Structure 1
């Protein structure tokens, strides 16, 4: 733990001090702290820490942007992001960038030691609180199994705000065929016969349509 070098960064001074004090009290080796994304990135480049604990939203560079640059630079620093964001897109982006830790600010002091223990051992730690939150927002994907491949294609296009006319043109089918498919999808998904009910459902479940 003492030999593992760590830098921290947060644009909120009190939060940064609180995190640093918490880690120092527990014997972690903090070798630098930044007040914005640019300072954080420069610390990573100049000090080459084992771990960087970064707020995801900072001036000049976000935690995600820093992680992207570190990946491009082939940096060996393992990134841990602390975030208020619970969106699936950012969560998935973090995984794609091989970010080692991803925890919510509201649980940061509860989870940071567990996260660090995992990361120090070369393992990833994504807060179970985030996974629970995402699962609440996303229904069982098995509901999509009732749809035909053609209906799924149309649903994807609906989620992208395509009109019936545009869908017909893109899929080389008639306008009436698109309308028939829409009607079948609404029936299979047991949606209310309201204007935009299918569009709203498609938007809410877009992540499951890929």
Structure 2
């Protein structure tokens, strides 16, 4: 658990609480900040594996930091903590390549699971977010699923269970290259952004239909 982490939140109690909790669990907290600009400068300088950021901070928001990290090809994976459930904010998080999205009321309960998945390249977001999005936008089976072949549906189901391309290749006795080709075709058919997390999150939200 030597994962290097920068934490930023403009609420001192939240910042201290999360920092103390993760430190007690053995994580390597290499920097913290109470505003977005300081947080971004720390990310640029220290290049942590993970940045845990509040969305709404002075000078730069968590979303703006995620966008800047993406534009500048920084290796840091961003996890956002927020009270926001708005679909527009969530869509922006996906657009900027955010790997984790946790509601603040569940931060302490979910943060370790989130970090564990994100470190391994798997997206994580609060179940409350999935439930909210499903209730507001996914009342019926997505029509796009009908365009997928049986093999593609099987792969989407495995993706929804947080399997990596290597996991899927092993399960189906095919090459990783073949899995990645299927993933590319699925992304095209579902009209998703070609971001690392987009298909995984789409599959997780829609797993009840698979």
Partner of 1:19: 18
1:58 maps to 57
User: For residues 139 and 28 of structure 1, do their structure 2 counterparts lie closer, same or farther at Cα, with a shift above 3 Å needed?
Assistant: closer
1:151-202, Cα deviation, whole Å (9 max, x unpaired): xxxxxxxxxxxxxxxxxxxxxxxxxxxxxxxxxxxxxxxxxxxxxxxxxxxx
Structure 1 Cα separation of the partners of residues 76 and 142 of structure 2: 41
* 1:139 shift after superposition: 5.5
Q: How many residues align?
A: 143
| Paired position in structure 2 for 1:46 | 45
- After TM superposition, where is structure 1 displaced by more than 3 Å over at least 4 residues in a row? 141-144
Question: Can you give the 5+ residue segments of structure 2 that lack an aligned partner in the other structure?
Answer: 144-210
Q: Say if 2:104 is the partner of 1:105.
A: yes
* TM-score for the superposition, normalised by structure 1: 0.65
The gaps in structure 1 that reach 5 residues or longer are 145-210
* Pairwise CA distance, 1:143: 11
Larger relative contact order (CA 8 Å, sep ≥ 6):
2
Q: How far does residue 93 in structure 1 lie from its aligned partner after superposition?
A: 1.4
Distance change (3 Å), C-alpha of 1:35 and 1:88: same
Q: CA deviation at 1:137?
A: 2.5
- Once residues 138 and 122 of structure 1 are traced to their aligned partners in structure 2, the CA distance between those partners, rounded to angstroms, is 26
Aligned residue for 1:133? 132
Greater Cα radius of gyration, structure 1 or 2: 1
| TM-score normalised over the length of structure 2 | 0.65
